[in-house]
Structure 1
Amino acid sequence: MSRQSISFTEPNDEWLKSQVASKEYASKSEVVNDLIRQARNQRAEIDYIRMKLEKAEKSGISTKTKDEILEIARTRANVKL
């Protein structure tokens, strides 16, 4: 595992210490690694949503009514309202 030296502002360092003191994490490194993991997952979700939106924009304007679109969505989701 790679070792790094990083500096924290006092409020951030206090927050990291409180996470370790609460026994939520074993060390500050564990907290930082978890935060990075969460940020990477969030980025992947944002990228996926962006890709879906771009695909939808490129598909053009639908000639279907709102009710037709809703019915298609319900059918795809297999949901009956």
Structure 2
Amino acid sequence: MDTMNISLPATLKSFVDEQVADRGFGTCSAYIRELIRYDRDRQHLRSLLLEGGESAPSVTADETYFETLRAGVRGRSKA
């Protein structure tokens, strides 16, 4: 695994230390890795949403569409 050193003001370092202790992270590095993963996933989701927003609609989302979805979910829950 590669390493990266960062400098933080005392207030941010204290905040990170609190998060590590309060949220069960083993180390500060584990907490920072989680933040980076979260940001990466958020950016990916944003790009998917923008891509979907720019695409043409594939079906009309009317009452029939939603009833079909509900029926499918009901069918799966019985299996």
TM-score computed with the length of structure 2 as normaliser: 0.70
Runs of 4+ in 1 over 3 A off after TM superposition: none
Percentage of matched positions with identical amino acids: 20
The CA RMSD over aligned residues, in Å, is 2.2
Gaps of 5+ in 2: 72-79
Q: Describe the superposition over 1:39-75 as per-residue Cα deviations: whole angstroms up to 9, x where unpaired.
A: 111111111100000113xx6xxxxxxxx74235415
Would the alpha carbon gap of residues 73 and 10 (structure 1) be closer, same or farther in structure 2, given more than 3 Å must change? farther
CA drift of 1:28 comes to: 0.6
Would the alpha carbon gap of residues 21 and 42 (structure 1) be closer, same or farther in structure 2, given more than 3 Å must change? same
Select the structure that is richer in helix.
2
- SS of 1:26 mapped into structure 2: coil
TM-score computed with the length of structure 1 as normaliser: 0.69
